[in-house]
Structure formats: structure tokens, C-alpha cells
Amino acid sequence: IKMSYNYDDNNIFAKILRGEIPNKTVLETDYSLAFEDISPAAPVHILVIPKGPYVSHDHFAIEASNEEFLDYTRAIGEVCKITGVQPSSGGSGFRSIANAGQDAIQEVPHFHTHIIGGRNLGRMISPT
């Protein structure tokens, strides 16, 4: 079956982008926004989102413009720098996670990458 991506304008990150609900912004660029997760899983827990209406990482990877793609990737790099997690400058590392769809238990249907760090995060995937 072929299904197209269906972006829901009422998701909570769309509301954040429209300024309808507040957020703790860490970085804003032309095409991206990074803000603190409201329910942090670790001392560092930032969400990086594109401003465009993309549902998931695969949607973004396929349909984003070169400008959006470049901006987003650089924004993630900048967030790692701002939060000090990157190993190259003395940080103790981080994990980047992008959940998509039901198996990954994606809760907000606007593409976001979690940048999580500041403590030992254990192994990548928990046993089921």
C-alpha cells in the first residue's frame, strides 16, 4: 500500500511554532527551532524541530528542501555545542533519537530529534 504523509496542524509543536503555547527556546534558525523537552529524561533533553510541516524523519528526509535539510543538521550541531555534550570539546556524549510511528511510540506527529545527555544513558534499546 502507498500512503502519503498527512501533517496534522493541531499537534503541539505546530502550536509552539505558531506561538500559541510557550517554550524554552535554546536556538532558533531560519528553518529550525530547538527547545527544552517539557518532561526531560536526562539533565540535557532538547528537541530540535524543523519549522516546516513534516511528520517524521523519513518525511523530512524525502521532502525537505536542501536549505531546510542543511539548516536542520547544523542546528543539531549547534545544540550539541550549546549544551556542551559533544565529546570533541570535553562533553560526555549524547544520544540523538527520532521516533516515527507506532512501533517507536511517536507521541507528537511533527518531526523532532531528541538530544539527550548529561548522564550515562544505558544501552540504546531496552529489552521488551
Interface residues toward ligand AMP, by CB under 6 A:
12, 21, 23, 37-39, 47, 99, 105-108
At 109, the amino acid letter reads P
Measured CA to CA, the distance from residue 97 to residue 106 in angstroms comes to: 11
The nearest distance, CB 49 to ligand AMP, in angstroms, is 10
CB 56 within 8 A of CB 106: yes
Percent helix / strand / coil, the chain, rounded to 5: 25, 20, 55
Nearer to ligand AMP, 16 or 64 (CB): 16
The closest of 27, 3, 10 to 113, measured between CA atoms, is 27
Nearer to ligand AMP, 33 or 64 (CB): 33
The nearest distance, CB 24 to ligand AMP, in angstroms, is 8
For the annotated catalytic residues, the residue numbers are 112
CA pseudo-torsion sign 92, 41, 77, 25: negative
The nearest distance, CB 105 to ligand AMP, in angstroms, is 6
Nearer to ligand AMP, 1 or 124 (CB): 124
